Structure 1
Amino acid sequence: MSLYEKIRNKEEKISVVGLGYVGLPLAVAFAKKVDVIGLDYNKPKIEKYHQGIDVTNEVGDKAVQETTAILTTDENKIKEAKFHIVAVPTPINGDKTPNLTPVISATTTVGRNLTKGSIVVFESTVYPGVTEDICVPILEEESGLRYGEDFKVGYSPERINPGDKVNTLEKIVKIVSGMDEESLEDIAKVYELIIEAGVHRAESIKVAEAAKVIENSQRDINIAFMNELSQVFNMMDIDTNAVLKAAGTKWNFLNFTPGLVGGHCIGVDPYYFIYKAEQLGYHSQIILSGRKINDYMGKYVAENTVKKLIKADKQIKGSKVVIFGITFKENCPDVRNTKVIDIINELKEYGVDIIIVDPLADPEEVWEEYGLKLHSMEDIKDMDAVILAVPHTEFKSISLDEIKKFYWNHKPVLIDVKGMLDRKKAEEMNYLYWRL
């Protein structure tokens, strides 16, 4: 009997290591079909789950309350599992090089609790070679077992789009790979238990690793092109949205828009690919250029805010600015690697006083991550400028008339980063309006 059959018959269990935006949906989905153990060392997070609160906002409180998955901080529990999924983040260091510490730590934990006949599948985004060259030796050393004989590995890159309630885990085709045909089939069939869209069997682990890292690199480059265009059009006094609307009438024009590119995927993954390429002696040109453009956009927004404040005859030092949104994208509570922080830091360099409003972000997380306090809508008064940084659904319901009440004088500066509002109407209402 194969491992897949044993899991399906509930003779063996699945463990998910890392219960964040990727791991929690996996654990909840698998638990509807088989026995699951979820491991995460973040005690406050696990306590929230036990209280029935979904801190990721990915599956919802009801799903967390009803799941049969055992969610724990006790690593010994995963010894009961034979199929291990590693779903921890892969951030970058300050110098933009890969930070594999979370993956190495999780691999070490799995290795300590690995038993003969197990399969370990990595979902964390990495550059090609990490699974076999870095993770496998750790598993062997920690477990005392032999790779290929006592245990096998695979790679299945996560494709979850945080905050997206349409393209959910079950509805996205899953890439799967294994060290050999036997492990590939087991891994594919296990994921087919929950993936309605089906799976794609990659030729090798390295192919699967590469596929994931270039998916986000491609998107990053396309957004960088839009961001570069927006800077040029701004100098030409041409509205970027209007240009894209016109160009979009052609059937094969790609629908990308300018904006802040942060988060733990698009703003990070290209650096993994660049790092590996440079190790092989190739200096990235297109990918690195795109990253530089996108990394600059927070500062660019701040600079244009200052220009508008000057045009409004405001004294920059001591100006009061409210920023709507600090998460890395709309309708998502995740603040990791948000580029809104670049706007904040740049404005602080000018001596601007800032308050931040974001109903989705966790105030404790924002404070721990950035040392910033979140405010309520009631705190917004006597502003010199309003920056709509993140287009949360909650913010889209705020009208131009309501926004006017946030200011203290007749020259209101309004920075609409993603173009949520009607530009013509804003200008007719005498806003000093700007957007990418």
Structure 2
Amino acid sequence: MNRPHLLYIAFAFPPSSASSVYRCTAVANGFVDAGWDVTVLTVEAEIWAELTGMDNQLLEAVDPRINVVHVSDGGSEEPGRRDIRRYSRFRIEAPYIWKEVFRRRSRKGFPEDFHALWHRPASQAAQEIHRGKPVDLVMASASPYVSFKVAGELADVPYVLDYRDAWAFNTFTGAEIFSVSSERGQLEHGYLRGALQSWFVNDPIHDEYARRYPEVSAEMRVVPNGFDPQPGHGRPTAGATAEPRFGYLGTLQYTAVPLAEFLAGWDNAFGNEATAPAHAIFKGKLSPTGLVPGNVLEIFNSGRHRGLAYEGPISKRDVASFYQSVDALLLILPPGKYVTGGKTSEYLATGLPIVSIHAADSAAATILREYPLWFEAKDLSEEGIADALKACAAELASPDPQRWAAAWEYGQSFERSATLRPAIAELRTMIEDDSSTGPQTADRNNT
């Protein structure tokens, strides 16, 4: 097999600014670098202007050898569209009833709200791609989970499921969304049985899925997120400062993270006029869509919290310059032992001090534990957070060059390609073995 052909199903792909696009872009690029022909099946690019926003600069990160096929969303994103000229009288006069009717209609072909409508255009496009250039492997990145259904519809073509999250349970709370014996549980079980492999972003999610579906655990892999070097990525200088600049970069999800706790800790540490001034600069979005109430924006720029400022979204291609403009980083994550946080490995790669403000059992703590410049809030109390911030400020006032050098070296080990290369190589071996024993592939897809 000279250059195998991968069909990669990724609902969100550049220029979307959804957080999932970073993993999806890196995976597609990784297969190309490993000698594959790659076709990405994704939704129409223009739709993201009304949803999460667009980052056109991110298109520069997509390998030009990748063939990107855009198809209609099938109406799945209608509830998120903001152009009121599209709205029916029914939607305007009874928006909640309209949304519930729309939700129920969308679930008729697949048990997923709204996104199930993407199945028809995505499935048709996958078949056309396969007819035009036979596909050797399909990979589906979810959510949405209807992508898994599309992945299994090419006859005799093996597929891989890439779980960026968990379908069966809430990764923030751990609460079960559906049981193994439920309709969705049986559906998910069937997809996992048919898969050549299933990928998970961290050990806690992998372990819970292995517990739920033990007979297919051998096909499960942990392929963690990592950082993707951006223009300007470089080692920081350990220069002493008495007026530190703390930075936060990413989607804050203000309704889920311990924002009030952070603010209380910040004010405790730096709010007193008698203390040396410090700054906390937030860049990115304050919710997945970027839309937030006015009172949330007021938190940052009202002056109530000394040194706190929100400076809006930033292109992925400009993140290195942001990291170079700050002295330390704030890692503020939602609760839950299944949460690693998409920014954790990128933060580590900066070599900067990191202040952790999240639950002690967070999956992020697993990879942060060995980082020499990690300042963990022992708990989410005002004092616990303030102590972590002040300890970091003390390091910045008198930095230890050896610690900084060790932090940089540790962080570089999280480059995403280091974990992708062996995972992709294993898949190449598996499909080449399958191609020599064809009936086994057919049996797997018909399971």
Identify the TM-score tier after normalising by the shorter chain: 0.3 to 0.5
Normalising by structure 1, we get a TM-score of 0.34
Larger RCO (alpha carbons 8 Å, 6+ apart): 2
